[in-house]
Structure 1
Amino acid sequence: MKRIDRLLELVLGSLLALMVLDVTWQILTRFLPMNPSSYTEELARYLLVWIGILGAAYAYRKKSHLGIDLLTNALPEGLRKKVQLLTISLCFAFAAATMVFGGIQLVMLTFELNQLSAALSIPMGFVYSVIPLSGTLICIFSIDQLLQVLRGEIPAAHDSAESTEMASAQG
């Protein structure tokens, strides 16, 4: 699992660096020779899509998505564990049905229709392929989280919140 995490971090960092270079090139070609590059805006848009959707999978893995745990913190530990299992299972189901299954359908359809991007003339199926890829990652991460909850490796929600508050108060 650590290899997947590291690879995802590397891919996201590389995409971000490429986007910075792309936008820098766009600015330079717009103002120096007064002849803006024709492909940079579209490339930046597609890189942003990839960073955003892959970043969602990364944030899910790191548990960085916004969550309101007021209700779950008030639950007894046994019920809290059941709610965690339900929540993770729902995330898995959504990612599998919408992102993986629906994303594959979208990618196949755009390849069948031979839909090309306007400036780069690349098949749009390559752009959309990030959806099932990210969905697959979320499914893998969900299974890992389910196993962690079942093994008791994920601490109770209020315990981790208290330790975060204590660490910030000490620092």
Structure 2
Amino acid sequence: MHILFRIINKAIEALLVLIFGLLVIDVVWQVVSRYLIGQSSSFTEEFARFALIWLTVLGAAYINGSKEGHLSMDFLLAKLSPEKQRKRLKVIQVLMALFALVVMVIGGGNLMYTVLKLGQISPALLVPLGYVYAIVPISGLLIIFFSIYHLTITLNPNRNEH
């Protein structure tokens, strides 16, 4: 499971770098076309918006997996014994997985399905908006995977797989 975790983490990392690079190129092109050519491209604003959506939601899943970037107040947690800390962290992982399931996978999946069924298309890029919203259930599934990983590997002191 640790190998699968590393592969998924590296794939998400590479995708985030790619999206961020495309976002930088898009915004630079928008500025160049507006000030040097005198007319901005019609697709740049929409692409930037969609890239930010993907960057934010996928980035949240990535941070959840790495457990190194989330803001948290751990003052009270640090006061607990190591065993109680592990129990609290397990409860937190379960709650995050439930949130991801209900809100992101089920809710985001319904949103994606509805928008695709209605045939909504973005005005400038002519992309079905359901594809833009597809990142929500995908990230929800990733968060669930990472929560299961942390529950079974990192929060279980009896396992030596990590």
Shift of 1:7: 0.4
Q: Which structure's relative contact order is higher, taking Cα pairs within 8 Å and 6+ residues apart? A: 2
Question: What number of residue pairs does the alignment pair up?
Answer: 154
- Aligned equivalents of 1:119 and 1:40: distance in 2? 9
For structure 2, which runs of at least 5 residues remain unmatched after alignment? none
Q: TM-score when scaled to structure 2?
A: 0.91
User: What residue in structure 2 maps to residue 113 of structure 1?
Assistant: 118
Residue aligned with 1:32, SS: helix
Cα separation, 2, equivalents of 1:95 and 1:146: 15
Residue in structure 2 matching 1:150, options 150, 156, 159: 156
Match of 1:58 among 55, 62, 69: 62
Which consecutive segments of 4 or more residues in structure 1 shift more than 6 A?
A: none
- The corresponding residue for 2:129 is 124
CA distance in 1 between partners of 2:106 and 2:156 (Å): 27
Aligned counterpart for 2:145 among listed residues 140, 144, 156:
140
Shift of 1:32: 1.2
Q: Does 1:104 align with 2:70?
A: no
The aligned residue for residue 38 of structure 2 is 34
1:84 aligns with one of 48, 64, 89: 89
Deviations 1:108-137 (A, max 9, x none): 000011111121121100110010011111
The answer for unaligned runs of 5 or more in structure 1 is 154-171
Flag the structure with larger Rg: 1
Give the 3-state SS of the residue equivalent to 2:137 in structure 1: helix
Residue in 2 aligned with 1:47?
51
Give the TM-score normalised by the residue count of structure 1. Answer: 0.86
